[in-house]
Structure 1
Amino acid sequence: MLCKCKDLKLNPVLKRKPLTFSPIWVLSYVPETSLSRPPWSDLPLLNKEEEQRRHQVVVQKVNTLIESREYGRLFAVVHFASRQWKVTNEDLILIENHIEAECGDRIVLEKVLLVGGEDFTLIGKPLLRYRDLVRVEATVIEKTESWPMVHMRFWKRHRFQKKRSK
């Protein structure tokens, strides 16, 4: 016995307990906090008739706002010149592409993704279907020629350089 105790005192490694591995569910456990679930209670699922009735009420309200023209200031998200732009009345946008329009020309932005106001938003999937419902127009104010863009290509350790300008 004395010999074993002496060995334990000299060799602290023998005192250690063997490593135990915890199950996976213990490692992935996240304690419940205020962020682990939404602050509102679970919403009950509606039956199909109730959902359609609520949908019709919302559509009716939006249609009355549009017909009475009481929608306030509108905004739209349009796809133009390979980008999406959020535009409102009297906004200026700067594009870097060349378009076939002269100064003073009015152009129609046909790819309308979204239109919204203070009380409603119409979202297209991906575009709004009704062209008679939404019409976004723009006026070309200024066209200037910019400096040529230089595209430089260089391969290291190959003595290769290539310069192309547009």
Structure 2
Amino acid sequence: MNNEMVRRACHAIGMDNKQPFYKYGEKHFISYRNYSVSNRLGDEYFDKMESEGLAESDRGKQSVTYYLTEKGFQWLEKECSMVIHAKNRPEKKYHLNKYDEEQIIEIWAWLKKKEIYTSEFPEELDVAIWLDTDAMESFFEYFGNEENPVPARIYQNAILVLFSDVLDFKVTGMQIWSFRPHGMREEW
């Protein structure tokens, strides 16, 4: 029964329509929803999850809608060995020391000086650095080297690099974005 409960819980958070991704060696998934609807008689697996505090339900005349609770998200994270992100769950923050903060500020200053576009990148819980052809060479000379190249994704009109990939410590996108200098261009 546990496997079917996991399958249904994964469906409720949209895992059958969207793939997990890896960051810092951990598997992550960003949930775009948190519900599953069944007929008015309910669903035995979700009813079991509800009895264990893993789900809640809203029972109407024609249907029953189930939602995972925070305890349900924590259970599913353990069952699937991944970090699950959702709008109603607080993002885990990493401890940053003074050197880490200085490194982030220094990179923001360099990006601002070079007028390189950036944007929030919620898909990856990161900040996207958009490099056009004029910015690529100087960026990779400044940040990359042959032994430790910076990963990049090629798009039609630009190269995308994730801000955290140029750092040597763990940090969330929200933490990176909080150090953004005033007047930084934000859109590509």
Classify the TM-score, shorter chain. under 0.3
User: Please, what TM-score do these two structures have when normalized by structure 1?
Assistant: 0.21
Which is higher, the Rg of structure 1 or of structure 2? Answer: 1
Higher helix residue share: 2
TM-score (norm 2): 0.19
Higher relative contact order (CA 8 A, sep 6+): 2
